[in-house]
A and B are shown apart, each in its own frame.
Chain A
């Protein structure tokens, strides 16, 4: 989804619990999706990606799920740690001109 000028939603999670961050994307032609993590004062960093021919991909402690029917993407973080506190953005690439469009972002707060 594109940023619509709203302030970032916040998700608060107890340390050790699993986190689920959701993202609705806008372009049904998008074929590549990426999750980024942005720590305070830093640029976004790549976490995990998924292509449109898949519906699930797992990394270390993270899983991305893609539902193309409803244009929905989610990031699951297992056993959330204080170091996971950050803003998480989903991004989509549509095939033609490869322009990366970012979602609005979600701020994850981990409660010790």
Chain B
């Protein structure tokens, strides 16, 4: 069972560069989420989606964009990377009112 797959696992970006963090799930979950986790801190919700074609902002959406063209995929786009975006990014998916399944994370450093 693949579950939630995130790529890449690690990435170093220069300030001002852009990139897309990929997330795919094979559990047919309606809901998908992107979180960031700074060192020694909790999880902050960036964006979430309740189904294909529907996305909404979380707590910390500035500097990020998402799309949800299919049930399986929920990519997170960083435009004009900034040092403040250095973090570990987690994608998760769930059924309504059920526990979320998380990917292994993408460790991003912006220098």
Q: Which residues of A contact B (CB under 8 A)?
A: 2-3, 5-8, 31-32, 34, 36, 41-46, 49, 89, 91, 93, 95, 97-105
Quick check: B42 and A43 within 8 Å, CB to CB? Answer: no
B12 CB–A CB distance under 8 Å: no
> B residues engaging A (CB < 8 A)?
4, 31, 33, 35, 40-45, 48, 50, 56, 58-59, 90, 92, 94, 96-97, 99-105
- 11 A–B contacts, CB within 8 A, in A order: A8-B41, A41-B105, A42-B104, A43-B4, A43-B102, A43-B103, A44-B102, A98-B97, A102-B43, A102-B45, A105-B42
Main secondary structure of the interface of A (DSSP, over half): loop
The secondary structure that dominates the B interface is strand
Known contacts A43-B105, A97-B56, A98-B50: A104-B42 contact under CB 8 Å: yes
How far does the Cβ of B21 sit from chain A's closest Cβ, in whole Å? Answer: 14
Complex contact A97–B90 (CB within 8 A): no
Given the complex, which residues of B lie within 8 Å of A34, measured CB to CB? 99-100
A105 surroundings in chain B (CB, below 8 A)? 41-43
Complex Cα spacing A45 to B102, Å: 7
